[in-house]
Structure 1
Amino acid sequence: MAVADWVPIREELRSHEPYGAPQLDVAVRLNTNENPYGPSESTADAMARSVAAVATELNRYPDREAMALRAALAGYLGHGLTADAVWAANGSNEVMQQILQAFGGPDRTALSYAPTYSMYPEYARNTNTRWVTGRRNDEFGIDVARATALIERERPDVVLLTSPNNPTGTALPLDAVRAIGDVAPGVVVVDEAYAEFRRDGTPTALELLADHPRLLVTRTMSKAFALAGGRVGYVAAAPEIIDALRVVRLPYHLSAVTQAVARVALDHADEPLARVDELRETRDKLAAQLNELGLDVAESDANFILFGTFADRHAVWQGLLEHGVLIRETGPEGWLRVSVGTRDETQAFYHALREVLGK
């Protein structure tokens, strides 16, 4: 859907299309890394009561600093964090946009390592930030020597690291984050949108915050907390970094309803986190099944699996769709990505894939 010629849009945007995965009405939707388990009835009831409590005051603006929510998020994250070291916005997408607004911009550079989240270059584009792409290795990790050499050459103002990485699912060792932070002249962002799904023993970059003042760790409530429709993302960093993000935030950007629902979700965190354990088990079982089919499977610490390789991945994607299963055609050429669903959904995908592949 190209922008009409007569529309006076910025020329560098004219040929671009809006971001988005296909939204199709099929029986099994495993293409957007959502949590397949919604909030429990008791949590939903508590959310409804919290919304009702703020509804009579919706004529007033919300707390523009979202202090109660930020305190709750800091408590959830631990690591000695306090409310002034956490910032919240409408999904981690808005957090990332604010980071590029504050630390990127004209005559500034952002850098990441592909394959990775496809929205990163769009954040850069939207903020007039120069974009530089390095490459991950064949196992989708980051070669520290090559990565730091690229940083020393390009001198980026923002380095975006993703752990676990999307679309590959691979996590970064903390030594790699440290090494990159030691040479990066600007801020380093570790996007941990899928952190709750990481395997036992896989560390979080939150451990590095105390010793790395220019490090930011972003998270989301869309995945583990089953709150994709609530649109809540957040970031932990030094209070001085958080203050820089506050400079570019829009007035009253996070609604009273959103803040109330998110606080309830945090109060009931044990319920979705128990489901996370189940989803990790389902992921690992599926990865083993895909390996048994003779497929290449990227090691995943997320709630999805990247698998391949196919001479014609679109034909496989289309075949699955004809079986009522929607996955994502993304990542390196020849690979496909499937989100982890319920046990039944995941097995429906597996059996459909076997039929498509004739196995």
Structure 2
Amino acid sequence: MTEQLERLNRLPLRDDLRGLTPYGAPQLEVPILLNVNENTHGLPEQVRKAIVASVEQAVAGLNRYPDREFTELRERLAGYLGHGLTPENIWAGNGSNEVLQHILQAFGGPGRTAMSFPPTYSMYPLLASGTGTRYVTGVRSDDFTLTPESAAEQVREQAPNIVFLCTPNNPTGTALSLEVVKAVYEAGEASSSIVVVDEAYGEFFHAGTPSALELLPGRERLIVSRTMSKAFALAGARVGYMAAAPEVTDALRLVRLPYHLSAITQATASAALEHADALLANVEAIKIQRDRIVAELQELGLKPAPSDANFVFFGGLEDPHALWEGLLEAGVLVRDVGIPGHLRVTAGTEPETSAFLARLRELLAAGIR
């Protein structure tokens, strides 16, 4: 046991936190970072200038608390999402993780249960633990898909208070049909389950893949969460949001910290939304590289999962860690998500994608698979 760990264990730490390590992917200094699904294109110049101007205006009032209701931001987010949503349907936080935490604080807690279907976003159990919510898991098919019948049966059996449905799913990139969402919502009727559809990568859906935003009318227990970290290239700004019935946002006001969104955060997000078209143009470029990765991995004899996200999850590997290390030696960092025989790579710019594929070919040719 290290000295630092010994000092930590001397503290009156909660028993369920003892022995745990902090969440986080490796942060290494390499030329090509394709491991945490960031938007590697960065912000267009016109958007950078707009954000700087907006923040400069906000700085003049930093001696005052920010708008507690982040009114302008909610108006812009409602306009961006469409689907007849109004500001009363919108909630936001410091990244979608804080939004999910608010949901667990309001509808979870001691004596209550949250459920999801691994492999999926690894923060769900951590957020549940942090709010004293019991976390239970369902199962997917061997190809990581989830059918309406299977999902509904498992929800009826577990009767959770909250269900997380990640679509496109992280780490697999696979999208859920709206039939799955509807089946889970109906199955949760008896237990009054809050159903959270996590669409963090929703802007990267293939054309024709529907959003659960379509299902919000008449479903007061349904929540659709999004983020500005991915499509809007604002991972460093920490802005997440959700759409739901107005009574859900009222519930979250009961648990949020006062003035939880800073004036700088609000100004940054509002300016970015004003230039959504310029930012979403990069989304189309990313989707091209994602589909290129899927096609070329198939040609190389690997097994990429169908992806509606800005990353590709692929299998058919005998020693994924050796392949991960071989890519890292060439300055390309991808993600080992801990699923045997698989790795995950973010779809970056055209040069970044080309560098990844070129090095991958070299490693496969050398017998590293």
CA contact (8 A) 1:2 1:16 kept: no
- Identify which of 251, 257, 278 aligns with 1:250: 257
CA distance in 2, matches of 1:88, 1:233: 6
Cα distance in structure 1, aligned partners of 2:152 and 2:205: 25
Match of 2:314 in 1: 307
Q: Describe the SS at the equivalent of 1:307.
A: strand
Q: Name the amino acid aligned to 1:283.
A: R
1:213 paired residue number: 220
The structure 1 segments of at least 4 consecutive aligned residues displaced by more than 6 Å after TM superposition are: none
Conserved 8 A contact 1:2-1:14: no
Give 1:143 shift. Answer: 2.6
| Deviation per residue, 1:24-66 (Å, 9 max, x gap) | 1111110010001111112111111111111121010000110
Q: Which amino acid aligns with 1:317?
A: W
1:61 aligns with 2:68: no
RMSD: 1.1
Residue 222 of structure 1 aligns with an amino acid whose one-letter code is: S
Q: Give the aligned partner of residue 108 of structure 2.
A: 104
What amino acid is the match of 1:170? Answer: T
Which runs of structure 2 are paired with 1:272-311 in the superposition (5 Å)?
A: 272-311=279-318
Q: 1:124 to 1:152 in 2, by over 3 A?
A: same
* In structure 2, distance between residues paired with 1:171 and 1:352: 29
Query: Structure 1 residue 2: deviation in Å?
Result: 4.6
Q: Give the SS at the match of 1:229.
A: coil
Aligned to 1:335: 342
Q: How far, CA to CA, are the matches of 2:292 and 2:151 in structure 1?
A: 33
User: Given that residues 168 and 331 in structure 1 are in contact (C-alpha distance below 8 angstroms), is that contact kept between their aligned partners in structure 2?
Assistant: no
The answer for the alignment partner of 1:189 in structure 2 is: 196
Distance in 1 (alpha carbons) for counterparts of 2:44 and 2:5: 42
Which blocks of at least 5 consecutive residues in structure 2 are unaligned? none
CA distance in 2, matches of 1:275, 1:240: 35
Paired-residue identity, %:
57
TM-score (norm 1): 0.98
Please tell me whether residue 320 in structure 1 is matched to residue 327 in structure 2: yes
In structure 1, distance between residues paired with 2:281 and 2:150: 39
Contact 2:302-2:317 within 8 A present in 1 as well: no
Q: CA deviation at 1:169?
A: 0.3
Alpha-carbon separation, structure 2, partners of 1:118 and 1:357: 29
Query: 2:141, 2:68 → 1: CA distance?
Result: 43
CA distance in 2, matches of 1:313, 1:260: 42
Q: Unpaired runs of 5+ in structure 1?
A: none
CA distance in 2, matches of 1:45, 1:177: 40
Mapped to 2, the partners of 1:60 and 1:320 lie a distance apart of 49
1:1-359 matched pairs, under 5 angstroms: 2=5, 4-184=8-188, 185=191, 186-330=193-337, 332-358=339-365
Alpha-carbon distance, 1:331 to partner: 5.2
